[in-house]
Amino acid sequence: MKLDVAGIRRQFPILSAVIDGQPVHYLDNGASAQTPDAVLDAVRTYETTGRANVLRGVHRLAERATEAYEKAREEVAAFLGVMPMEVVFTGGCTAAINLVAYSHGSLLKPGDRIILSELEHHSNIVPWQLLRARSGIEIDVIPVTLDGRIDLEVLPRLLSPRTRLISLAHVSNVTGALLDVRAVVAAAKSVGARVMLDGAQYAPHGPVDVPGLGIDFYVFAGHKAYGPNGIGVLWARPELLEAMPPFHGGGSMIGRVTFAETTWAPPPRRFEAGTPPIGPAIGLGAACAWMRRLDWPGVHAHEMALVQRLMDGLQEIDGTHILGPASLQNRYPVVSFMLDGVHPHDVAQTLDSFGVAVRAGHHCAQPLMDRFDLDGTTRVSMAPYNDNSDIDALLTGVKHAARTLR
């Protein structure tokens, strides 16, 4: 059965908005996706019928809030195929990586090695550099192939008995390349290293079979996965969480506090100090439930058809180049391109004047830009609600930029 894209679009109020007389062609989903009614309703229900702090209150509102918060954890766990107590709510994907780098990182010794790649988002680079400065670990970097994939042929040469962790993007936020997780996990196992995946660009495209991936840590962002801002997720194997010391200290994460000694709560609460982002967590739970109801094989086919339409259309415009895999194999609907003689920001600004929202620049991946000696790219990132009219409006705008700005 064909995917009911119009039906999906109707669930996103912002997509029917008119801005300055133009419809919204939203193709900046890789930065932040839009939010469906199901999520907005869940947050509003919490705010209007159950708003209170979680865990310690005995009144009915507090109980409602706690129940909704923990139900959200169950929804996220179901989305990842894991147990709820293995899911830690964080302030975002960046916060989740920082949590692992700080907490799991504190268990590493000087001279231990971590492997990253050249295409990582800064959020999967800088926390490890901070750890390196604190504790003397070493960082190895897997290069990127000409078509924007992590070059796993190089990985065996980077492995060493001191390799403790390989942390990579599940899908590149610039090139859209899908990681060969199986190969990475096999390589990691050969030296006893852990694997962490940055799922920020993967999770918005369907439930994640975390147990099937054989990995150790998974992180993703709520706002890129149709949820609210200010919420992210860390999943880790329970024995790893159990061994990790706290990241932040405060309320809720303790067992017993005395001035002589404080003990920690078990995970996940050990890592959720202070009042958590309750409404955003509830919204993310609703987003995960919403995503689980979608026909993902249908969505994936639809998204890939949009990618094909985009790539075909760009090829017809003189002086365009795609940074990333040219085929649809093992790629996700994130497409970066350059237009000769026109800076990406000027492309994006021109597209905005056609009602098309995209992202331009280095995409928080400056090492990748350096690798290809680029100022930046224009990035088109799609979601299930995008349709041909979005791609066609974009192509019209790129043609206009090509005609007028060079």
Partner 1 sequence: MNDQLYQDRIVALAKARTGAGKLAPPAKSARRDNPLCGDRVTIDVRLGDDGRITEIAHQVRGCLLCQASASALASVAVGRDKAGIAALRHDAERAIGREPGEAAEPFAAFAPVKSHKSRQDCVLLPFEALGEALG
CA distance 68 to 75: 10
Q: How far is the CB of 231 from partner 1 (least distance, A)?
A: 24
C-beta of 22 vs 32, nearer to partner 1 = 22
C-beta of 221 vs 351, nearer to partner 1 = 351
Site for partner 1 in 20-59 (CB under 8 A): 20-22
Q: How far is the CB of 325 from partner 1 (least distance, A)?
A: 23
Q: How many residues bind partner 1 (CB under 8 A)?
A: 23
C-beta of 285 vs 397, nearer to partner 1 = 397
Q: What angle do CA 287, 89, 294 make, to 5 degrees?
A: 20
Q: Is 209 in the site for partner 1 (CB under 8 A)?
A: no
C-beta of 65 vs 351, nearer to partner 1 = 351
Q: Is 241 left (phi over 0), alpha (psi -120 to 50) or beta?
A: alpha
Answer yes or no: 288 catalytic.
no
Q: Is 129 in the site for partner 1 (CB under 8 A)?
A: no
C-beta of 63 vs 352, nearer to partner 1 = 352
| Interior/surface letters 232-271, b for 16+ CB within 10 angstroms, e for the rest | bbbbbbeebbeebebbbeeebbbeeeeeeeeebbebbbbb
Q: How far is the CB of 353 from partner 1 (least distance, A)?
A: 3
Of the candidate residues 16, 353, 388, 389, the single one contacting partner 1 (CB under 8 A)? 353
Of the candidate residues 175, 336, 350, 378, the single one contacting partner 1 (CB under 8 A)? 350
Q: Is 342 in the site for partner 1 (CB under 8 A)?
A: yes
- Tokens 């229900």 correspond to 45
The window from 130-138, 194-202, 307-315, 398-406 that contacts partner 1 (CB under 8 A) reads 398-406
CA distance 344 to 398: 10
Q: Is 354 in the site for partner 1 (CB under 8 A)?
A: yes
CA distance 87 to 74: 8
Q: Residue 383's CB: how many other CB atoms inside 10 A?
A: 25
Q: How far is the CB of 372 from partner 1 (least distance, A)?
A: 13
What are the φ/ψ torsions at residue 150 (nearest 5 degrees)?
Answer: -70, 125
169 contacts 121 by C-beta, under 8 angstroms: yes
Annotated catalytic residue: which of 364, 369, 374, 405? 364
Does residue 11 sit in helix, strand or coil? coil
The window from 9-17, 189-197, 312-320, 354-362 that contacts partner 1 (CB under 8 A) reads 354-362
What are the φ/ψ torsions at residue 341 (nearest 5 degrees)?
Answer: 80, 0
* CB within 8 Å of 67: residues ≥ 6 apart: none
Take residue 49 and report the two structure tokens written for it: 């019928």
What are the φ/ψ torsions at residue 360 (nearest 5 degrees)?
Answer: -130, 150
For the CA atoms of 385, 68, 249, 123, the dihedral, rounded to the nearest 10 degrees, stands at -10
Of the candidate residues 343, 379, 380, 391, the single one contacting partner 1 (CB under 8 A)? 343
135 contacts 129 by C-beta, under 8 angstroms: no
299 contacts 205 by C-beta, under 8 angstroms: yes
CA distance 299 to 296: 5
Q: Residue 210's CB: how many other CB atoms inside 10 A?
A: 21
C-beta of 70 vs 352, nearer to partner 1 = 352
The window from 49-57, 183-191, 197-205, 344-352 that contacts partner 1 (CB under 8 A) reads 344-352
Q: How far is the CB of 157 from partner 1 (least distance, A)?
A: 31
C-beta of 209 vs 375, nearer to partner 1 = 375
Q: How far is the CB of 20 from partner 1 (least distance, A)?
A: 5
Q: Is 394 in the site for partner 1 (CB under 8 A)?
A: no
Q: Residue 327's CB: how many other CB atoms inside 10 A?
A: 10
The window from 17-25, 40-48, 280-288, 320-328 that contacts partner 1 (CB under 8 A) reads 17-25
Q: Is 376 in the site for partner 1 (CB under 8 A)?
A: yes
Q: How far is the CB of 346 from partner 1 (least distance, A)?
A: 5
Residues that bind partner 1 (CB under 8 A): 20-22, 342-346, 349-350, 352-354, 361-362, 366, 369, 375-376, 397, 400, 404-405
Residues serving a catalytic function are 364
